[in-house]
Amino acid sequence: MKIIEKIIDESALEVPEILIGIELDKILYRMESDITQMGLKFEDYLKHLSKTKEDLRKEFRKDAEKKTKLALILNEIAKAEKIVADPEQVAKEVAAILEHYKDADPERARMHAENVLTNEKIFQFLESQ
């Protein structure tokens, strides 16, 4: 979305290093999970790429910084505009997640659903401006 890119680019927000690190950890965790779900060993994958985890952290740093900045900005917009996810929609989304992913943590599913639905409302708000 162009509006999101513009908001990120024009923001003078300095992202705390710890938040970037947390986002990098999430990115690498998802990548490792995806690779192991395909039946591969992450270490073998890294060898195939001739890279280390630290190399990947460096490669994904800009993306992590951008995602973190966006999350902080969206959170501030939600607070300022009093944008919240509809509890009924959250409950439906959680039920769908738990039905599809039998071993999913209900609290994490709720947080994910709330985040996604809130962000959708924020994007709708931004597009209407």
Residue 9 pLDDT grade (very low, low, confident, very high; cuts 50, 70, 90): confident
**77 near 126, Cβ under 8 Å?**
yes
Task: Say whether 94 sits in a helix, a strand or coil.
Answer: helix
Mean pLDDT of 122-127: 90
**110 near 90, Cβ under 8 Å?**
yes
Which long-range contacts link 100-108 to residues 24+ away (Cβ below 8 Å)? Answer: none
Q: What is d(CA 69, CA 3) in angstroms, rounded to the nearest whole number?
A: 14
| The pLDDT of residue 3 is above 80 | no
Residue owning tokens 């809130």: 118
pLDDT digit string (tens) for 108-122? Answer: 999 999 999 999 999
Closest by CA to 53, choosing from 90, 27, 34, is 27
pLDDT digit string (tens) for 28-84? Answer: 999 999 999 999 999 999 999 999 999 999 999 999 999 999 999 999 999 999 999
